[in-house]
Amino acid sequence: MEKIVLLIPIIPIVIAFMLMFVSKKERIPRVSIFLSSMIALLGLYGTYHVIRTDTVIEGFGGLLIYNELSAILIPYVAILGLVIRKYATKYMWDEAGYKRFFILLNFIFSAIYLLIMSNNLIVLALAWQLLSISLYLLVSFNVGSDTAVKNARWIMIIHKGADLVFIFAVILTYKTFGSFDLAVLSAQWLEMSASPITDPMIFVIGLLYLLAALMKSAIMPFHIWLPYTSEAPTPVSAVMHAGVANVGGILLNKMAYLLLLAPGVLNIAFGIGLITAILATVIMLTVSDIKRSLGYSTVGQMGYMIMEIGLGAFSLAVYHLIVHGIFKATLFLESGALIKLARHESNLPKRLSYELFWEEKLKSKASKIFNYLAFLTIIPIVVFIGVKMVLSEEFFDFNASIIILAFGWLTGTQLFLSFFKVSRTETFKVVVALISSFIIILFTYEFVGLALEHFLYHEHARLFYEAATLNITLLMAVIILVVITVVGWLFMYKQHFIDVEGTQKASKIEWMFYRFLAKEGYFFSIIKRIRKGGKL
């Protein structure tokens, strides 16, 4: 009975074929939504089964599997798919190619389900490629728009590159380990991790999977396809930012046991993820186009996700991709309603946070507030580390936890400050809010992260942290923590609390740096010059 769950990747294709024969326009979304809700129900049933019986559902000769990872991701994708379809029902109504849109949407969801549920590297390779072509056709949905079609080319080129890299990785995996079956391979990799690994080919294979994941997840320098494809219809943007960009993280989770054997790859992932997270976030703040800004925001978040994987926190990356997906999809899908509301009011719609914090009073003394804030926001971290040191020493064995914690807190605070437009005069409220954000991050990482870790990887989760550890001393880890916290805090302070009257004129070097970021590293200027045959 439970094997019916394995039909999930096939159902969207059936829906797509059924839609071809639906002639009445209003029936298209109805059929699509009704049958997609079946997928969501099947997904929830599968998750219930996996949790209740503690067994995975396997079928089609071992090609598909509904395991712990699927149990978390399939209901998420299915519900997201439902919301997007519902949203698209009215949003896309006046667009030419209404039926084509729903058909393509079903194909892309089929590819995502197949990717999550595949237990075979060949099936994974097919899903990986199916995703690329479906995405291209969806992004260039507005066929009459030159810019949409032109920018969609970046998707094709980068994703095709990812496809080839992935195929090479699969071939080398088969040549080295002799199987395409992921469950068999994972068991083999886990067994091998008990003894030291000397085969350089394993490192190469791990690196190829990482490269493929980086390309699909828009990690720098392969990020260009994401910020420039915002011209696609809003539901497509939601799919891209909340679904497609996450597949890199999903792939690396599927290959988690392989990466145990190649700690160097994890360290590289950490480095690239870190650079992407910082650089994309800074570019996000400098680009003038709001849609591109959102694109860079996703790139930054994907950077975080890859960084978490690089630190061995695979399950946390899964949590991150779900939370980010929900958040970003909400942002995209809410944008239309927000614009509509804004047209009726002189100011943007006010929210509780807006009412609480927004009133700007320039008379205050920034330095005094800074002292308060610095004191009261760094204290929670110091207290937490002290308590951890006493209660669980092993926390410090893996510097990953410390780095994740620091970044998590910084992200939470940054998000809070930029999202809610906090006033610098409301010191008490700001401090309370910052401490609250810290508690939320702490709760998430300590409880949700651990629970997911236990569910996904059982007792093996610790092995990933061991493999990914950067082999630095406790002192070094604490120094890094302090540096991240202080530098991050200063950055935020300068951004959000700097005294307007006392602002100094930027130096030439600062302007150059700003221009560099605002022009996204002159990437497109260089491309244009090359095309025109001009000098660089």
Partner 1 sequence: MSAIIVLLLAGGVPYYLLLEKFTPLKSKHIFLLSGLLLLGAVVSSLYIPSGHTTSIVVIALISAIFSIYRATKTTNFYKLGYYLVFVNAPFFLLFEDQGAEYSLSLLLSLIGVFLTAQFYEKNYGSANYHHITGITLATPCIGTYLAFYLIALALYPPFPNSIFFLSYIFESEPSVLWYIVVSTIFFGNFLLAMRVMRKTLFGRENPTIHYVHMTVKEKIIHSIVIVLLLTLSVLGLKEMLL
Q: Would you tell me which residues interact with partner 1 (CB under 8 A)? A: 61, 63, 96-97, 100, 120, 122-123, 125-126, 129-130, 132-133, 137, 140, 143-144, 146, 149, 153, 156, 160, 163-164, 167-168, 170-172, 174-175, 180
- Residue with the two structure tokens 């009412």: 355
Residue number with CB closer to partner 1 (24 or 343): 24
Cα distance between residue 374 and residue 475, in whole Å: 22
Q: Kindly state the smallest distance separating residue 390's Cβ from partner 1, in Å.
A: 54
Q: Kindly state the smallest distance separating residue 382's Cβ from partner 1, in Å.
A: 54
Q: Kindly state the smallest distance separating residue 69's Cβ from partner 1, in Å.
A: 21
Residue number with CB closer to partner 1 (229 or 485): 229
Residue number with CB closer to partner 1 (140 or 315): 140
Asked whether the beta carbons of 400 and 477 are under 8 A apart, the reply is no
For residue 169 the two structure tokens come to 């990785």
Q: Kindly state the smallest distance separating residue 350's Cβ from partner 1, in Å.
A: 42
- Residue with the two structure tokens 């680009």: 287
Q: Kindly state the smallest distance separating residue 130's Cβ from partner 1, in Å.
A: 5
Asked whether the beta carbons of 91 and 97 are under 8 A apart, the reply is no
Residue number with CB closer to partner 1 (25 or 175): 175
Q: Kindly state the smallest distance separating residue 172's Cβ from partner 1, in Å.
A: 8
Phi–psi pair at 120, nearest 5 degrees? -140, 140
First to last CA, the chain: 64
Q: Kindly state the smallest distance separating residue 64's Cβ from partner 1, in Å.
A: 11
Asked whether the beta carbons of 112 and 128 are under 8 A apart, the reply is no
Cα distance between residue 536 and residue 521, in whole Å: 14
Helix 98-117 to helix 27-53 angle (10° resolution) is: 10
Q: Kindly state the smallest distance separating residue 164's Cβ from partner 1, in Å.
A: 5
Residue number with CB closer to partner 1 (107 or 189): 107
Alpha helix locations (H) across 288-398?
A: 290-310, 314-344, 352-357, 366-391
Residue number with CB closer to partner 1 (168 or 354): 168
If one counts every other C-beta atom within 10 angstroms of the C-beta of residue 438, the result is 21
Residue number with CB closer to partner 1 (146 or 360): 146
Q: Kindly state the smallest distance separating residue 58's Cβ from partner 1, in Å.
A: 15
SS3 content of the chain, % helix, strand, coil (to 5): 80, 0, 20
Kind and range of the H or E run holding 65:
strand 64-66
Question: How long, in residues, is the chain?
Answer: 536
Asked whether the beta carbons of 111 and 118 are under 8 A apart, the reply is no
Closest to 411 (Cα-Cα) out of 322, 293, 267, 281: 281
Q: Give me the sign of the Cα torsion angle 201, 205, 207, 208.
A: positive
Residue number with CB closer to partner 1 (18 or 83): 18
Kind and range of the H or E run holding 53:
helix 27-53
Residue number with CB closer to partner 1 (125 or 258): 125
Cα distance between residue 224 and residue 280, in whole Å: 11
Asked whether the beta carbons of 50 and 68 are under 8 A apart, the reply is yes
Q: Kindly state the smallest distance separating residue 519's Cβ from partner 1, in Å.
A: 27
Closest to 217 (Cα-Cα) out of 167, 272, 293: 272
Residue number with CB closer to partner 1 (149 or 440): 149
Q: Kindly state the smallest distance separating residue 129's Cβ from partner 1, in Å.
A: 5
75 cis-preceded (ω within 30 degrees of 0)? no
Residue number with CB closer to partner 1 (118 or 423): 118
